[in-house]
Amino acid sequence: MSGVTKLFLFAVLIALMVGCKTKNDEKIIATAFDYSLYQSDIIGIVPKGSTKMDSTTIIKNYINNWIRQKIVLHKAEKNLNSEQKDFAQQIEDYQNSLIIYTYESKLINQLLDTNVSNQDIQNYYNANSDNFQLKDNIIKVNYVKLELKSPLKAKIKNMLFSKKEDVNTKNQLIDICTENAVNFYLDDDAWLLFDDLLKEIPIETYNQEAYLKSNRTIETKDDNFYYLINIKDFKTRESVSPLSFERDNIRNIIINKRKLELIQKMHKEVFDEATKNNDFKIY
């Protein structure tokens, strides 16, 4: 530790223990121009459980940042006129917005119905399906990632690529993959982004749409692993997105719509009540 650093830390510690005093006996630990940093200003900035070294570093950095800020603030104040430094209206507007936002948030927490039924989602989708266009290619896929020399490649391939929909065979495949596969995905119902599959599987394609149309069962490998992929279904970008892929999105849309309606209703009721009671005048 350099002599300058030791001197700084010593000065900080002395300031914390003794400090300068103001008229109200508040201890000062730093000043910059006409600004003062008081000991009470740094209470709570050091997390509980911090070591002495960490505590000293945190306090040192806080004081340095405070000094730099006040130096720049002093420079700015000297170079701005009174009108440029008058933020009274902006502060009032911001405070008013915060108060209204806090009240609206409290109202939403108390009254908002967040239960969205499957029928609600279905109805919204049916009425707005044209608005759900895919921006990416999506797939329903089963895939298995195996060690390159796995003795189960042929067996898993036959089960994965089988055209028979057999629950027992599927459950058996899940058990085998759980015990032996490096990674696997065997959900027949969920839609995935094709790009997400490409992050897991070393497939090279410059035209995703053409690739999906001509490849349903795929075998590939790299230096370490062997991959088996069965694309069960796909939809290309700009086609209508399936309901199951949009379910969470629609639920959020419905809830946000309810929030807006709740806030608009509150605003109207408050305004109507104020009108009825002659609580405002226009001159």
49-106 pLDDT tens trace: 889 899 899 999 999 999 999 999 999 989 988 888 888 889 999 999 999 999 999 9
- Report which of 205, 210, 197 is spatially closest to residue 237, judged by C-alpha positions: 210
SS3 of residue 117 by DSSP: coil
Distance CA 233, CA 262 (A): 41
Distances (CA, A) of 271 to 100, 110, 231, 257: 14, 21, 57, 21
- Report which of 230, 184, 209 is spatially closest to residue 134, judged by C-alpha positions: 209
pTM of the model: 0.69
Q: For residues 26-37, give the mean pLDDT.
A: 89
Q: What is the CATH number of domain 129-235?
A: 3.10.50
Residue 187 CB-half CA count within 13 A: 7
Distance CA 58, CA 50 (A): 10
92-151 pLDDT tens trace: 999 999 999 999 999 999 999 999 999 999 999 999 988 999 999 999 999 999 999 999
Residue 23 clears pLDDT 70, i.e. is over it: no
Q: Which residues contact 281 (CB under 8 A, 6 or more apart)?
A: none
- Domain locations in the chain? 3-78, 129-235
Alpha helices (H) in the chain, listed in sequence order: 3-17, 52-78, 88-111, 118-128, 153-160, 167-180, 194-200, 208-214, 243-276
